[in-house]
Amino acid sequence: MRSRAAERTLPPADEHAARFARQREADRSATAEDYVELIADLLREEGEARAVDLARRMGVSQATVTATIGRLQRDGLVETKPYRGLFLTAAGQEMAAIAKARHELVVRFLIAIGLDAETAEEDAEGLEHHASEKALAAFARFLAMREDDAG
């Protein structure tokens, strides 16, 4: 039951602004997380990470990959030499591990609430970058609780 028509939608302005700022921050780190996660997967499963494969899997041109890799190098996440394969720095490996764990948690959660595996993967790709630690904890609790029930 609400009061009258349309009360209480707008939070205090500064709080509101903080939400959007966090949002923009998450958007900024999303690309880096997607790239290092993909590079880690390629290294693990294919033994090497080549720009051409990143381009194919990201659905983006090779030139775009080159530019993005340049930023990731600048930010200390990726190591490479001109015309050679890609590797992760320690920081990059750590980011990839966190991203992967988070990705899998989100996928498992989405499947638990009734999504099919493919849709869960698709949605996780977007949702994983915008779930706070508290939300992820809630997902984990939900999964744990559900396992208890299943016995």
Among 26, 41, 43, 50, binds DNA (CB under 7 A): 50
CA neighbor of 55 nearest in space, from 64, 43, 46, 44: 64
Asked whether position 135 contacts a copy of itself by CB under 8 A, the answer is yes
Neighbours of 105 (CB within 10 A): 18
Give the CA radius of gyration of the chain: 19
Asked whether position 13 contacts DNA by CB under 7 A, the answer is no
Helix count (H) and strand count (E) of the chain? 6, 2
Strand partners, 86: 80
Q: Which does 63 bind (CB under 5 to 8 A by kind): DNA, a copy of itself, none?
A: DNA
Place of tokens 């939400």: 19
Asked whether position 108 contacts a copy of itself by CB under 8 A, the answer is no
Asked whether position 63 contacts DNA by CB under 7 A, the answer is yes
Asked whether position 136 contacts DNA by CB under 7 A, the answer is no
Binding site for DNA (CB under 7 A): 24, 28, 30-32, 50-53, 55, 58-69, 71, 80, 82-85
